[in-house]
Amino acid sequence: MPYTQMQGAATPVPVVGTEGVRLKLADGREIIDGLASWWSVCHGYNHPHILAEIEKQLRVMPHVMFGGINHEPALKLARRLANLLPEDLNHVFFADSGSVSVEVALKMAVQFWLNRGVQGKNRFVSFKYGYHGDTIGAMSVCDPLNSMHAHFKGFLHEQFVVDLPRDNATVAALDDLLSTQRDRIAAIIVEPLVQGAGGMRFHEPEVLEALRSL
Ligand SMILES: Cc1ncc(COP(=O)(O)O)c(C=O)c1O
């Protein structure tokens, strides 16, 4: 378990199979996996269509790198993702986890300014109760207090972790931060719909609109 002291951790439960929403345990019991293996199996385990497609693809070509080459299945997925996103978001970078995708996004934001010849914009604005992952860069933009990361203070990059712009005072505070620190701030990072790990706090549409307008 992440962030769990091994000496006090419970013994892991052996699983021998999966089906639909269920985990089959070694002792014969079956339990419902309400977490869907941390949301990665949202269509259920052993879904026949997904299994068939994986088997088919494994025989054709299990994996190739994206270093100067690509392939139709990746292009197809990229097109479908781009179609789901607002009009100007038409580029896709595949990463191997949520945390790595956040690392990539942070680096892209820093590189954006460097490409424009602007130095020093390498800090981020993020929000209290936010969670963006467990790699070092992603940890730095999480809420440092209301999270599992408090022990790592001093090790992580210092970012601007502020209140979500919910009312006049917090909108003004964020506006002020963006003005006074504009030479240091590369980007704002926010969970798109809900602050999940921070307590299932759903964003009000007005908050996201306020952020977009800043
Ligand atoms: C909003 C958000 N960003 C990033 C992550 C990190 O994803 P991963 O666990 O795949 O690294 C999570 C994981 O729950 C998340 O909820």
Task: Give the helix/strand (H/E) hosting 125.
Answer: strand 123-127
Q: How far away, in angstroms, is 38 Cα from ligand 1 center?
A: 9
Distance CA 131, CA 40 (A): 17
For residue 208, give every residue at least 6 positions away whose Cβ sits within 8 Å of its Cβ, in sequence order, or none: 190, 192
Average pLDDT, stretch 183-206? 94
- What's the CA dihedral at 94, 95, 100, 105 to 10 degrees? -10
Assess whether the C-beta atom of 132 lies below 6 angstroms from ligand 1.
Answer: yes
Assess whether the C-beta atom of 148 lies below 6 angstroms from ligand 1.
Answer: no
Assess whether the C-beta atom of 198 lies below 6 angstroms from ligand 1.
Answer: no
Assess whether the C-beta atom of 133 lies below 6 angstroms from ligand 1.
Answer: yes
Assess whether the C-beta atom of 33 lies below 6 angstroms from ligand 1.
Answer: no
Span 27-82, pLDDT tens digits: 999 999 999 999 899 999 999 999 999 999 999 999 999 999 999 999 999 999 99
Instruction: Grade residue 3 by pLDDT with cuts at 50, 70 and 90.
Output: confident
Average pLDDT, stretch 88-114? 96
| Domains, the chain, ordered by start | 6-62 (no CATH), 65-94 (no CATH), 96-213 (3.40.640.10)
Give the residue, by CA position, lying nearest to ligand 1 atom 3: 132
Q: How far away, in angstroms, is 168 Cα from ligand 1 center?
A: 30
CB 125 within 8 A of CB 188: yes
ipTM comes to 0.98
Distance CA 102, CA 92 (A): 13
Average pLDDT, the chain: 94
For residue 188, give the 3-state DSSP assignment: strand
Task: Give the helix/strand (H/E) hosting 166.
Answer: none
Helices (H) and strands (E) in the chain, counts: 7, 8
Distance CA 104, CA 86 (A): 20
